[in-house]
Amino acid sequence: MRIAVVAAMEEELAPFRNFYASTVIWQKGKTIIEKVHEDLYLVVSGIGKANAAATAAWVCQQLSLDLLINTGSIGSFRKELPLGSIVFTDRFVYSDVDATGFDYAYGQVPQMPADYPVSETLLAIIKQVLTQNQISAFQGTIGTADSFMSDELAVSAIKKAFPLLTASDMESCALAQIASFYEIPVINVRGISDHVGEHAPATFDDNLEFAANQAFHAVRSLIDFWQQDLS
């Protein structure tokens, strides 16, 4: 299985670089593509939906992927989930798109699906592999927005629109949207760096490395499962 692991920031990809020997094969702007071997690539996309979409288009077009894994840090909407906890999404949604005036669902880009679900098969594998590796993880919907979730009014509005939202990032739904054009499945497995709200930026700074390392261990267990014949 050919896999690309995509993180927004170099800090989030650092644990993978420390573990896997890789070579840069393409770089432009904030995007860096590194090859570990023929079936594994490490990717820095840059922060935000535009960077994520541009990166997804390149890797999906050029690498003939079987799976795209989005990872790194994430802000949790659930205060009871401890920092460093692993979360993975059951579907990708935008939490800052509003075309409801044209009878689209909140979060739905016009003429595009309302969300991008992860297959039950992939969800079952994630649960199985993480459980077998004694990695505690939480499944829930992750929303994507071009805003860091530190503004209380914005957080309240998103909670109203998506009351069951588990966490928020700035890239994953854009990756899923572009990958859907190529019929390439996407999963999102991240570590909680902060809880949304006014204290989120300081908490994020303090816990980015911790969250990235936690996410790395979870994602590496999945890579080992899918590429066990290569190990």
Q: Which residues are catalytic?
A: 12, 194
Q: Could you tell me the two tokens for 59?
A: 């890797």
Sole residue written with tokens 């906890």: 85
- Residue 37 — φ and ψ, nearest 5°? -155, -175
Strand-pair category, 167-169 with 186-195: unpaired
Q: Could you tell me the two tokens for 191?
A: 């570590």
| DSSP tag of 100 | G
Which residues are within 8 A (CB) of 103 and not within 5 positions of it... i.e. 6 or more apart? none
Angstrom distances, CA of residue 46 to CA of 8, 50, 69, 154, 157: 5, 9, 15, 23, 26
Q: Could you tell me the two tokens for 4?
A: 């690309």
Question: Which residues face 144 on adjacent strands?
Answer: 94, 169
